[in-house]
Every structure is written in C-alpha cells, then in structure tokens.
Structure 1
Amino acid sequence: MLRHADKLPDGGTLVVVSHGGTIRTTIGRLLGLEAHHWEGLGGLSNCSWSVLGEGARGWRLLEHNAGTLPEPVLGDDD
C-alpha cells in the first residue's frame, strides 16, 4: 500500500478495500502501534471506512468506522 501512496500527487487519494481485520492491522502498523494495541482501534462495520492522512510526524487517523458522507456546507455564494 505504501508504494502506491508514495506515487500519489500532492493531495491525491488512495482507496484501499479489504476486510476489517486487515484494515485494522494496516492502520495499526501505519500508526506505529504495537500489536497488542491494535484491538483498541475497534472493529470496522460493513460498508464503513477509515481515513488516514500523512502529517509531518507520520500517518494520522482522521476518521475511523465512518459510515456517512459529510453534508455539504452551502455558503452565500452557492
């Protein structure tokens, strides 16, 4: 997965689809968590997703087990 993420343009998005256990393991490894802490991430419900972002100090978990898209914010110019 990281080799694909490294090829993304700035601001690009990589979508990875897998089973919940595999996703939890991958997230735990990306965050640098020890294996016994991966369980603390909790399960991933069917059709739900997690969002990670790469920051100055490495990967960050921005959302976990999300199931709905955010509502658009309409401004005066819309």
Structure 2
Amino acid sequence: MTHDAALRETYAGSWQGLTHDEILARHGEQYSAWKRGEPVRRGGGELETEVADRAAPVVLNHADKLPEDGTLVVVSHGGTIRTTIGRLLGLEAHHWEGLGGLSNCCWSVLGRGARGWRLMEHNAGTLPEPVLGDDD
C-alpha cells in the first residue's frame, strides 16, 4: 500500500469547511457558474481539470506496473475519483458531471479495452447489512 498526496480531494479554497447553505449565501454566483459546468476555481481553489492533471498520472503509473491479471485499488474522494475517471475515459471536462457522484463506501470499476479505458461499474456497492445477535 502506498499513499500519494496527488489523490487528495479537490482544494476548494474559501469554500472549505462551509455548509452548502453558507456557500450559496457567500458565493452564490460562483456556485451557479460551477453547477452550469463552467470552469470555476471554487473559493479560489483548484479547477477540476487540475485535479485530474495531478491524480490521473498516479493511477496510470500504478496501473502500468500491474501484472496482466492484476487489480489496482485506488481510494480517494468522490470528486477526485470522478475527474480521474473522466480523464481516463477521454471525456471532455464538461462531460465529467455526467458520471454523477460517488456515494460513500461505493466504488467504480475500470478496465482496459482494445481502445482504452472502459467504465465497467460506477457508484456500485451497498453498505453491509447489520448483523443481528440472538439478543436483538
């Protein structure tokens, strides 16, 4: 297992630590532009393309070192995962939102096909069912 800071979450500048309502109140126009798909440095932070610029090469580097039947598990935050998947699939940045978010504890599966990376599963998984003891 290795740790790479390039897989950290998107830096959102002055938006960091704010609730959704606080972001809307303080940065409403910037938020609206971001939701429309415009390249926005949320709170002065990173562009989504910059996140992909730093994260996708890390994934590719490790994937290139895998044996033929190997599996690489990458753990990160939803925004970083989404932008990296978009970059690996060759999608233009304004289409990355179409991948949708990634729920907590869920995963995506990519595989290499004849023409590049393919998205095989996205936002897959369910949280485990609680185990009930005899006294429940």
Shorter-chain TM-score: what band? 0.7 to 0.9
Structure 2 CA distance for partners of 1:75 and 1:60, relative to 1, 3 Å? farther
Off by >2 Å, runs of 4+ in structure 1: 68-78
Q: Deviations over 1:36-69 (max 9, x none)?
A: 0000000000000000000110000000000149
Cα shift at 1:74: 26
Q: Would you say how many aligned residue pairs link Structure 1 and Structure 2? A: 78
Contact 2:105 2:127 in 1 (8 A): no
Cα shift at 1:29: 0.1
Structure 1 stretches lacking a partner, 5+ long: none
Structure whose alpha-carbon radius of gyration is higher: 2
Tell me the percent identity: 91
* Whole-Å separation in 1 of the counterparts to 2:109 and 2:84: 12
RMSD: 6.1
- Give the TM-score normalised by structure 1: 0.86
Structure 2 CA distance for partners of 1:33 and 1:10, relative to 1, 3 Å? same
Cα shift at 1:32: 0.2
Cα shift at 1:76: 33
Higher helix share: 2
Structure 2 CA distance for partners of 1:49 and 1:38, relative to 1, 3 Å? same
* Whole-Å separation in 2 of the counterparts to 1:75 and 1:22: 38
Cα shift at 1:11: 1.1
